[in-house]
Amino acid sequence: MTDSTSEPHDESTQNAALQKAVIVGLQPDQPRHVIDEAAKYATLLGVPLVVAHVDVTRFVTYEDPDGYVHSAPIDINFEAGAAEFEAVQAAAAAALDGTGITWTARQLVGDPALAIKQLANKLDAQLIVVGTRKRGIGESIREFFTGSVAARLAHRQHRSVLVVPLEEPVPDSQQEIWTE
C-alpha cells in the first residue's frame, strides 16, 4: 500500500508525518458528507486526514521490507483503478481545500477491509471512517458474498470505526429497500 505520489524509499518518512491520523475510505461518487465527517474528526483530534481508495481490481503480490507494495491486476482494464483514484482525489480536494486540514490520498489494493486495516496499523490511526452504500439488490448480493467493509473492520482490529449513514435513511419496511 503506497501513496500514489510517493517513491518506495520515502514512504516511511511520509508515514511518520501521518501518525495518529484519521483514515477515511472513499469510493467514487460517495456522498460528500462522508469526507465532511472524517474532516470534522481530524480537526477535533488535531491530526492529519488520510483519504484511502482501495483498488479491488488489483491484488498484492508481495511487499518490500521498506513497505513498498507490488501488485498485479485481476482485470485487464488497467486504467479503471487509476481513474477511480483520480475521481476520489478530486472529490477530496473539492471538499478539503481551504479547510486548513493536512491531508493526503493513498491508493491501496486488494480486499478493502484488510487494506485499510493494514494502513491503520502502519499509521497507528486514531479512527477509521467509512460510509454506507446505497441499498439495492446488487449491493445486497455483493455484501452477502464479501461482507460489509465496516463490519469486517470492526471485527478485525482494535480501532474505532465510524460508519457514516446515507444522507436519506432507508425506511424500516424491507419492501422499500428492494425497490431502489
Q: How many CA atoms lie within 13 A of 12 on its CB side?
A: 5
Block mean pLDDT (10 aa), the chain, length 180 = 43 84 94 95 97 84 64 60 91 95 93 92 96 65 63 89 81 55
| pLDDT tens digits along 31-77 | 999 999 999 999 999 999 999 999 887 776 656 676 666 655 656 55
- The confidence score (pLDDT) of residue 9 equals 47
Q: Where are the domains of the chain?
A: 8-177
- The confidence score (pLDDT) of residue 72 equals 59
Query: What string of H, E and C letters represents the secondary structure of the chain?
Result: CECCCCCHHHHHHHHHHCCCCEEEECCCCCCHHHHHHHHHHHHHHCCCEEEEEEECCEEEEEECCCCCEEEEECCCCCHHHHHHHHHHHHHHHHHHCCCCCCEEEEEEECCHHHHHHHHHHHHCCCEEEEECCCCCHHHHHHHHHHCCHHHHHHHHCCCEEEEECCCCCCCCCHHHHCCC
- Which residues are CB-contacts of 65 (< 8 A; sequence separation ≥ 6)? none
Alpha-carbon distance 180 to 176, whole Å? Answer: 7
- The confidence score (pLDDT) of residue 29 equals 85
pTM exceeding 0.85:
no
Domain 8-177 has CATH 3.40.50.620: yes
- The confidence score (pLDDT) of residue 71 equals 57
